[in-house]
Every structure is written in structure tokens, then in C-alpha cells.
Amino acid sequence: MKLITRNTDYALRAVCFMAKHKGKVVSVAELTRKLRVPRPFLRKILQSLNRSGILKSLRGQGGGFILAKDATQIFLMDIMRIFQGKLRLNDCLLKKLICPNKRSCPLRKKIAKIESYVLKELSAINIASLLE
């Protein structure tokens, strides 16, 4: 299981790059060149971040993307939810079938504690802290 997907990784790199260049409009071409991410792939990621309110897009000559919020207000979990949905470590192996041991499963209880801890720690990470 990968905790952070490729989309989330690319999104984090783009957002961190923009946070380092605070207040500067960054073009897709510049991000593609600096991050070495395929342009069409990066454009889709940036558009998702724009729709989610993490970025603002500016059109026309000199256009590109800029952070819509301060780096202290953008959290890792915000970006993970955009590209990965809700983080779940505790899905039953039977997936859609209801496990008869759901309430009494000792492994599920231990994994629930781990999941709670991981979510708490990930929720505390903001973009500004990743730049330090």
C-alpha cells in the first residue's frame, strides 16, 4: 500500500514550489521544467488544485498559478483528500461483504488505533512546515 500516490506527490511538489516563490505567478511551463513532470499530467493536477481552492489560476500573458491560501493554511491531508479520497487503513479484507467479526476482530481494533494516530499526525503537517 502506498500512503502517498503519484498525483499527490506531484501536487505537493508543485504547491511547495509555489510556496517557496510566495506571491509569484508560476507558469505551467516553469513548473514542468523545474519539477520534471509531464505537462498534460501536471495541468490536470493544477486544475484539480484550482477547483479545490488551493490554487488560483490567472489567464493571459504572464498567467499561471499562485497559491490561494497561505502555506500555513494548506495541509497535507487537504491535498491527499483531493487526489486520494479519505485515507483508510482499516478496510476489511472482504471489502463490500460485511465481515461477521467486524465488532470483535482484534486486528481491526489495533489497526484503528494506528489509523487514528496516522491521521492525526498527517493532519498536523502544513506546506510551510515542509519548507523548513
CATH number at residue 81: 1.10.10.10
Please say whether the dihedral angle defined by the alpha carbons of residues 88, 71, 13 and 53, taken in this order, is positive or negative: positive
pLDDT in tens, 21-79: 988 999 999 999 999 999 999 999 999 999 999 999 999 888 899 999 999 999 999 99
pLDDT of residue 1: 59
Please report whether residue 100 resides in a domain.
Answer: yes
Please report whether residue 23 resides in a domain.
Answer: yes
Please report whether residue 47 resides in a domain.
Answer: yes
pLDDT of residue 90: 64
Please report whether residue 1 resides in a domain.
Answer: no
Please report whether residue 80 resides in a domain.
Answer: yes
Residue 89 gets the label, from left (phi > 0), alpha (psi -120 to 50) or beta, of alpha
Please report whether residue 46 resides in a domain.
Answer: yes
Please report whether residue 72 resides in a domain.
Answer: yes
Q: Which domain holds residue 28?
A: 6-131
User: How far is 122 from 89, CA to CA, in rounded Å?
Assistant: 13
Q: Compute the average pLDDT of residues 2-16.
A: 93
Please report whether residue 22 resides in a domain.
Answer: yes
Q: pTM above the 0.85 mark? A: no
The count of domains in the chain is: 1
